[in-house]
Amino acid sequence: LLSTEVEALLNQQIKKEAHSSALYLAMASWCNQNGFDGSADYFMKQSNEEREHQLKLFNYLLDMGANAISPEVLGVKHDFAGFREVFEEALEQEIAITQSFKNIVARCHKEQDYVTIEFLNWFLKEQREEEYKARRALELFEVIGEEGTGRWHIDKNVGKIEYNS
């Protein structure tokens, strides 16, 4: 059985994943409208992944006999200052999500909730990959440069980033 505190934290996390999913969808829209097709696809995929994370948490709560709350998503950002800023915000978002998982795991340790810790390990590993990809994407702006056809090349390479660890 989950404690009230862990149940609440997991429901908050569901909300955060739903927010991430909506934010990435907004980023996909912005990229598409500004001619960055490769990046639009990349963020569309990220958005789908976040939706899967949301459901994974949702199903865990139900499996544990807890109350899973369908989240309300408010205040999704749609305006971005530029192409690079979109990727900067994506990295910030992932770092914040990692921190959020760490806080839940810390709480679980306090309660000796090893069952939930085991479940959350999957997310910690996933965050390693997501931060890696977001950082690599942002590095393309340095490696390729934004001048001339730079942005076009960055856009073409974003989808090719792979994580092999």
On whether 153 is known to bind a ligand per the annotation, the reply is no
| Interacting positions 31-70 with ligand OFO (CB under 6 A) | 50, 53
Q: Does 113 bind ligand OFO (CB under 6 A)?
A: no
Q: Does 155 bind ligand OFO (CB under 6 A)?
A: no
Closest approach, Cβ 163 to ligand OFO, in A, equals 13
Out of 58, 83, 87, 123, which residue is the one contacting ligand OFO (CB under 6 A)? Answer: 123
Q: Please count the residues of this chain forming the interface with ligand OFO, following the rule CB under 6 A.
A: 10
User: Cβ closer to ligand OFO: 20 or 116?
Assistant: 20
User: Cβ closer to ligand OFO: 53 or 136?
Assistant: 53
Stretch of 23-31, 72-80, 106-114, 122-130 contacting ligand OFO, by CB under 6 A = 122-130
Closest approach, Cβ 61 to ligand OFO, in A, equals 15
Please provide residue 147's backbone torsions phi and psi, each rounded to the nearest 5 degrees: -70, 160
